[in-house]
Amino acid sequence: MTTIRGRPPSEATAGAGQSAMPVRLDAVTFMTTYLVILLAVPADRRVEVLGGAGAPAALFATLGLLWWGWQRVQSRRGLAFQPVKAALAFLTASILASYVVSASMALPATERSVADMGVLRLAAIAGILLVAHDGVSSPRRFLVLMRRISVFGGLYATLGLLQFFTGQTFVNTWSIPGLGDGGWISVGERAGFIRAVSTAMHSLEAAVVLVMVLPIALTVAIYDRQRSGLTRWYPVAAILFLSVLSVTRSALLGTVVVIAVLFWTWPRAVRLWMAAAIGFGLIAVYAGIPGMAGTIIGMFTATDPSLVSRTDSYDTVAAFIDVSPLFGRGLGTFLPSYWILDNQYLLTVVETGIVGLVALLLLIAVACWAAVSMRRVWEPRDELMGAFGYALLASVLAGSLILAFFDAFSFPQACGMFFLTIGLCGAYLNLCRAEATPWPDAADVEQPRAGRQRWIAGVAALAVMAGLSTNVLATPPVYYAQVDVLFILPEAPDDSNSLLGDPGLTLYLAGVVEKQLNAESADSEALTTFAPLYGTGIRNGHWIHIPDVGGQWETSHDRPLIMIEVVGDSPAQVGEDLRRHAERTADLARSSQELMEIPASLHIRTSASPSVPTASMIGMKKDRAAAGLALLTIIVVAAATRGGDRLLAGRSRRRTDDGPDGRTADAADPRVDRTEL
């Protein structure tokens, strides 16, 4: 963007290329309030009348989105490219596309409701990111927010340390008017040690908060010399000790990432001092808490069922990606009844597809770039502001690492802290731009004239989305039916049938038949633990299995029956497939016993229930699909029009800068200083 140098940025100026929010309501105050709600209110509290949509922090962040939108409507839009907001728009579009897919799939009613919740979650994370991105008015206010984050992190860790040493949660006794208690917060245990959670629902969620606050607290402690040493260093000490004592691999790995990123950016004296302090702290933990060192080493060397479960998830993820590779099945719809992935990246690719995963990775990469790309503008006169670039980089990298160890976006504190930090990366870039090139008066900025060129891309995008919408809304329904084939003992059993001596052998016969059936059917799908087959998104196929009451963690079969599920394009097809598979099940049960030379009168019989299954039609929810398509169209058309604006501005700039004799316009008028942002 070409701008004319003007007066220095004021307190109400957010940064280069955009108008700031007026100071009538300071965004730093808003984010401070958000952090108090996010970290001080136990994560399992909800506004009861709103159910799952009643998380206080998410509601407050959604209000932030409305506030941000209102301010943007009133302000003049700058032309400078905002990479973090562009990446957020891409992520938003991918999530809305996945919502449209979920509305067109044959999902159970509970999952449709969760998909609606996913859109509300999107509004919350977008709200807090955008307020953080556009609302920080000056380096002074940015510093105020960083100090508050450090203090909040120290208090958060202090509660966790109290839980570790006492074994009490404390938060379960808190009563907050208007909020219901979910009863989900409890301190866990590993190798005899308490796994503190502070106000989070899980120790892994607490780990995300700790490692994302740690680099900010370290930077404030080292460089912010205007405050007392205790105020600066206590949060660092509390966070580091709780990270080590948390008996959580993720917290330890995240702490290592933070130290690895920041260590080489510190002055030499600070590096020596910090190395000595960390070494002393580790010795103190080893000597003061017997067994902790061995437990920590064992977490990284011994076989852990949670690690095995994570690696076993890859085949399941690949199968779901094959069903809907580009846009997934809808944010939040991959419930534990299908599989527990414990990996946010895998969960993202299942729920929002390859496009959604690329959008998330792009947002992370852009945030990291924004944090360090222009940090040198503060050197050498403002060492603290320059150091915050590396702090934000370390925070995003550490948080991104932990996303690989659990489904972080399902937990309010982890999700909120992650997107708040990404928004602060964008705010930091804005402040760097303002420092490098003071933002001129709005009247001094030449805006490109509206012309038909800028609308060509928007009209083309609208036409594409109209055609896509028509195609999506014409998605045909899916038909589903299920039958249970029960294995029944004969009416007059005797010792001639060895399978009757032990009830477990009847179940064994069912297992033998199930294995033979699946060997004959290469397309028999096994993509869920408890959910129905149609919920996987498969439109034509079947699943033959013995119900597993143990689920993902431990296989357990307690009933001798085989469940046959079929989905297809028509009731006739579904009914025919069910009949064929049920008859084949009975044939295999009979032939297996004949091979054992068991008399027919003593055979274990099979019985189908219901005897005449009825196929149910499960169609798309057109109202949800239409709403999702409308929102997606607005974003796509706006992005295309914005691209047309930038293209037109670039062409206008080149015409202005190039004089008739090849010289730039600046050469003709030395009073004008133009800077490319």
What b/e readout covers 47-67, taking b as 16+ CB neighbours within 10 angstroms? eeeeeebbbbbbbbbbbbbeb
Does residue 209 form part of some domain?
A: yes
Q: Are residues 614 and 580 in the same domain?
A: yes
Does residue 505 form part of some domain?
A: yes
- Residue 668: the pLDDT is 40
Does residue 449 form part of some domain?
A: no
Tokens standing for residue 532: 């129905």
- Which domain does 264 fall in, by range? 23-437
Dump strand ranges (E) for 15-70. Answer: 45-47
Report which of residues 539 and 454 the model is more confident about. 539
Q: Are residues 635 and 602 in the same domain?
A: no
Nearest CA to 441 out of 1, 11, 2, 19 is that of 19
- Residue 321: the pLDDT is 87
- Residue 14: the pLDDT is 39
Residue 178 — left, alpha, or beta (φ > 0 → left; ψ -120 to 50 → alpha)? left
**Domain ends where: 603, 618, 633?**
618
**Domain ends where: 571, 600, 618?**
618
667, pLDDT greater than 70: no
| pTM (two decimals) | 0.85
Does residue 3 form part of some domain?
A: no
Lowest-confidence segment of 101-110, 163-172, 235-244, 667-676 by average pLDDT? 667-676
Mean of all residue pLDDT scores within the chain: 81
Q: Are residues 225 and 330 in the same domain?
A: yes
Q: Are residues 244 and 377 in the same domain?
A: yes
In this prediction, residues 372-401 reach a mean pLDDT of 92
- Residue 160: the pLDDT is 93
Q: Are residues 334 and 210 in the same domain?
A: yes
Q: Are residues 433 and 482 in the same domain?
A: no
Distance, in Å, from the CA atom of 556 to the CA atom of 352, rounded to the nearest integer, reads 32
Q: Give the pLDDT band of residue 179 (cuts 50, 70, 90).
A: confident
Q: Are residues 671 and 594 in the same domain?
A: no
Does residue 257 form part of some domain?
A: yes
Q: Are residues 525 and 420 in the same domain?
A: no
Lowest-confidence segment of 1-10, 154-163, 426-435 by average pLDDT? 1-10
218, pLDDT greater than 50: yes
**Domain ends where: 618, 638, 667?**
618
Query: 145: number of CA atoms within 13 Å, CB side?
Result: 31
- Residue 422: the pLDDT is 97
365, pLDDT greater than 70: yes
Name 492's Cβ contacts closer than 8 Å, sequence gap at least 6.
Answer: 601, 602
Report which of residues 660 and 147 the model is more confident about. 147
The one-character DSSP state at 484 is: E
Q: Are residues 70 and 98 in the same domain?
A: yes
218 near 262, Cβ under 8 Å? yes
pLDDT tens profile 45-70: 888 777 777 889 999 999 999 999 88
Does residue 552 form part of some domain?
A: yes
> What percentage of the chain exceeds 70 in pLDDT?
79
DSSP result, 117-159: HHHHHHHHHHHHHHHHHHH--SHHHHHHHHHHHHHHHHHHHHH
Does residue 522 form part of some domain?
A: yes
In this prediction, residues 200-206 reach a mean pLDDT of 90
> What percentage of the chain exceeds 90 in pLDDT?
31
Looking at residue 515, which CATH number applies to its domain? 3.30.70
Q: Give the pLDDT band of residue 416 (cuts 50, 70, 90).
A: very high
488, pLDDT greater than 80: yes
Q: Give the pLDDT band of residue 518 (cuts 50, 70, 90).
A: confident
In this prediction, residues 357-366 reach a mean pLDDT of 97
Q: Are residues 525 and 662 in the same domain?
A: no
Give the total number of structural domains in the chain. 3
Does residue 511 form part of some domain?
A: yes
Lowest-confidence segment of 285-299, 319-333, 648-662 by average pLDDT? 648-662
Q: Are residues 248 and 382 in the same domain?
A: yes
Q: Are residues 544 and 661 in the same domain?
A: no
Report which of residues 292 and 27 the model is more confident about. 27
Name 318's Cβ contacts closer than 8 Å, sequence gap at least 6.
Answer: none
